Amino acid sequence: MIAFPEVVLFSSRDQQLVTSVANRIAEITPARVIDRTMGFDEYLEGGEVTTIRQELCQDYQELNV
């Protein structure tokens, strides 16, 4: 997948796979999509993304099961 020159859209719970392959992360929230061009580890550790997610989802907190 790394050498494939086209776009690959995938979803995975395998953090090692996502960390080694993904260079753009799109997270679908109830309010909108958070789209960043960065590695998965950087995305997880980024305080900016966490802040954006909390702001977008604050009205949807009651929906968590």
Give the residue-averaged pLDDT of 3-21.
87
The full set of domain ranges for the chain reads: 23-63
Give the residue-averaged pLDDT of 14-28.
90
Write out the two tokens for 8. Answer: 């690959």
Contacts of 21 (CB under 8 A, 6+ apart): 1, 2, 8, 10
Distance, in Å, from the CA atom of 55 to the CA atom of 63, rounded to the nearest integer, reads 15
Contacts of 31 (CB under 8 A, 6+ apart): 56, 57, 59, 60
**pLDDT per position as a tens digit, 30-49:** 888 989 999 999 988 888 88
Q: Is 64 a residue whose pLDDT tops 60?
A: no
Percentage of residues of the chain with pLDDT beyond 90: 18
